[in-house]
A and B are shown apart, each in its own frame.
Chain A
Amino acid sequence: MNCSDVRDQLESYIADDVTDVESMRIAEHLGRCEPCAAAYERTRSVVADLKGISDAFVPRDRFAPRPAYASGPAGGWVWRTIAVAASAVAIAAVGALSVPAIARELPFGVAKEFDALEDRAQDLQQQVDELTVRLETIDGEQVAMVDTTPGDLAPEEAAAVQQLAMDFIRAQYAGDVAALEAMGTDRLKADLAARPGDYVRDGAEGLTFAQMTEPARAEDGTYLIFVRLMDSGDWSESQYQEDFEIKLIDGRYLVDFMGMDA
C-alpha cells in the first residue's frame, strides 16, 4: 500500500468501515510513514470533533405526533401485545385448515412448501403455545390472550377470513381502491381515504402468497390473521407481512385494520 492508497482510505479506516486486511495494511503503513501518520492524526481529530457536535443540538420544540391513524383498542392493544410473537406465529400456525383454502391459489413450489410445513406444524404448535404463555407475563402487563390453536374456529369461518385477507391484498396490488373500500369497515375506509398510498402496492406480477396464519379470534371478537407475501418491490427484501384485523359486522367479514410488518 502506498501513501496515496492510504490517504484515500484514511476516512474509512477511522470510521472502521474497511476490511480487517485493509485495516492491518493501513496500520502497518502508518507505523512507518510519518507524513501519513500526521495526516491520520489531523483527520482523526476533525472526525472526533464532528462526532461530538451531533448530540449538542437540543430542540426547543419537541416533535409530538398527532394521533393521525392511532388505532382504537383493537388496533392498539391487540397488535402491541402480540407483535413480538407475530413472525413466529406466522410460520408456526400454518395449519391443516389454512392449506386447502389457499393451496388452489399457490404456485406448485409454494404449495409443496405448505406440505412440508404441515409436517412440522405439530412441533411448531407447541412453540406457539409456549410463546402465548410467555406473553402473559411480559413486564407484568396484562396481555391479550390470542388463541392460535388450529381448529378453534369453524372451517367456513376461518376460510372466509382467509379469503377476505387474500382478496384485500389482490385489490391492493391491482390498485383497486373502490374494492378495498368495499371490503373495509368505516374505520378502514377513513384511513384509506386519508392515506391511499399506504394501501396501494406495485408489482402485482411478482405477488406470491408465501404463508398465512390460521385466523385467531381475540376476546372482543376481532379476527387476527397474518399473511406473508413476496413481491418485486423496490426494497431489497421483497418479503414482508401484512397483519389484518377483521370484524364480522351484520353477517359480513370486513377488514378493520391492516398494518405492515417486516
Chain B
Amino acid sequence: MEDYELVRRAQAGDARAFTTLVRHHERSLYATAYAITRSQWDAADAVQDALADAYAGIRSLRDPDRFGAWVSRIVVNECNTLLRKRVRVVPVEEPPEPQAFVWDGPEDGMDLMRAVQRLSPDHREVVALRYFRDMKLGEIADVLGCPTGTVKSRLNRALASLEAAMCPRTEEEVSR
C-alpha cells in the first residue's frame, strides 16, 4: 500500500497503518540519524523519539504526500536537539561495532558512512537528506530552512570532501 493511503489511515487512528508506514522509512531514517549524530545509540533514540512525535502529530500533517519530508524534518530536529544536549565528544575514528542496528550492506559501506560522519554538521545533514532520504533540493531547503542555493553548494562541497576521502577507490574507478 502506498504512503498516501497509509498516512490517511494513520490519521484516522489506525496504528497498524502507521507501523507499516514506519517500516517503509525506518532504515533510511536510521542512516540519516546515524550520519548526523555519529552515535548509534543517539541515532536510535532520535529516531524512536521522532517517530513517537510523528505518531502523536500525524493528524496535523495536511498533505499525506509530504509524509517523507515531514518525518525527515522531525528526525533532523531530534538529532540536533540531542547533539545540543551532548557534552561528551563522540569518538568517530574508532566507533564501536553497531549494536543498535544490524549492518546489512557492503563491507566497505561503513567506511563511506564514517567519511560522511567526519563532514561538518551542515554537510552531514544535506548528504543524509539527499542520498539516504532521497529528497529534492527544494525539499531539503524547506526542512533546513535555508535557500536552495545553499543546499546545492553544501552538497557540492560535501561530495568533494567525500571523493577526496574515498580517493584510492575513485582513482581505480577513473583508471578503468
Q: Which residues of A contact B (CB under 8 A)?
A: 7-8, 10-12, 15, 17, 38, 41-43, 45-47, 49-71, 75-76, 79-80, 83-84, 195, 197-198, 235, 237, 240, 243, 259-262
Q: Which residues of B contact A38 (CB under 8 A)?
A: 174
**Docked complex Cα distance between A243 and B59 (Å):** 11
Q: Is B168 an interface residue (CB 8 A)?
A: no
Task: Tell me which of B14, B61, B127 contacts A50 (CB under 8 A).
Answer: B127
> What does the 1/0 interface line of B10-39 toward A look like (CB < 8 Å)?
011111001100110011101110100000
Q: Is B152 an interface residue (CB 8 A)?
A: yes
Closest 5 CB pairs of A and B: A56-B105, A71-B13, A79-B12, A54-B132, A50-B131
Among A45, A47, A49, A62, find the residue whose CB has the most chain B CB atoms closer than 10 A: A49
The prevalent SS among residues of B at the interface is: helix
Contact A8 B156 (CB under 8 A): yes
Contact B173 A42 (CB under 8 A): yes
Contact A55 B28 (CB under 8 A): yes
Q: Which residues of A contact B137 (CB under 8 A)?
A: 12, 17
B: contact size bracket: 35 or more
CB distance from A233 to the nearest CB of B (A): 8
Q: Which residues of A contact B159 (CB under 8 A)?
A: 11, 43, 46-47
Q: Which residues of A contact B51 (CB under 8 A)?
A: 63, 65
**Docked complex Cα distance between A165 and B114 (Å):** 54
Contact B131 A63 (CB under 8 A): no
- A and B contact pairs by CB, cutoff 8 A, 15 listed: A52-B109, A54-B31, A54-B32, A56-B31, A56-B106, A56-B109, A57-B103, A58-B102, A59-B26, A60-B101, A61-B44, A67-B15, A75-B13, A79-B13, A80-B14
Segment 149-176 of B: residues with Cβ below 8 Å from A:
152, 155-156, 159, 162-163, 166, 169-170, 173-174
**Docked complex Cα distance between A47 and B163 (Å):** 10
Chain A, Cβ-Cβ closest to B160: A43
Q: Which residues of B contact A42 (CB under 8 A)?
A: 163, 170, 173-174
**Docked complex Cα distance between A86 and B152 (Å):** 40
Q: Which residues of A contact B63 (CB under 8 A)?
A: 235, 237, 262
Q: Which residues of A contact B77 (CB under 8 A)?
A: none
Chain A, Cβ-Cβ closest to B137: A17
Q: Which residues of A contact B65 (CB under 8 A)?
A: 262
Q: Which residues of B contact A57 (CB under 8 A)?
A: 27-28, 30-31, 34, 98, 101-105
Contact B9 A83 (CB under 8 A): yes
Contact A198 B59 (CB under 8 A): yes
CB distance from B25 to the nearest CB of A (A): 10
Contact A53 B19 (CB under 8 A): no
Contact B19 A60 (CB under 8 A): no
Contact B15 A70 (CB under 8 A): yes
Contact B13 A69 (CB under 8 A): yes
Among B12, B30, B31, B65, find the residue whose CB has the most chain A CB atoms closer than 10 A: B12
Contact A54 B131 (CB under 8 A): yes
> What does the 1/0 interface line of B33-58 toward A look like (CB < 8 Å)?
01000000000100110011001110
Chain B, Cβ-Cβ closest to A238: B62
Q: Which residues of A contact B31 (CB under 8 A)?
A: 53-57
User: Known contacts A8-B156, A12-B152, A54-B31: does B44 contact A59 (CB below 8 Å)?
Assistant: yes
Q: Is B8 an interface residue (CB 8 A)?
A: yes
Q: Which residues of B contact A261 (CB under 8 A)?
A: 8, 11
**Docked complex Cα distance between A237 and B64 (Å):** 12
Contact B12 A83 (CB under 8 A): yes
Task: Tell me which of A53, A62, A237 contacts B109 (CB under 8 A).
Answer: A53
**Docked complex Cα distance between A57 and B99 (Å):** 11
Q: Is B112 an interface residue (CB 8 A)?
A: yes
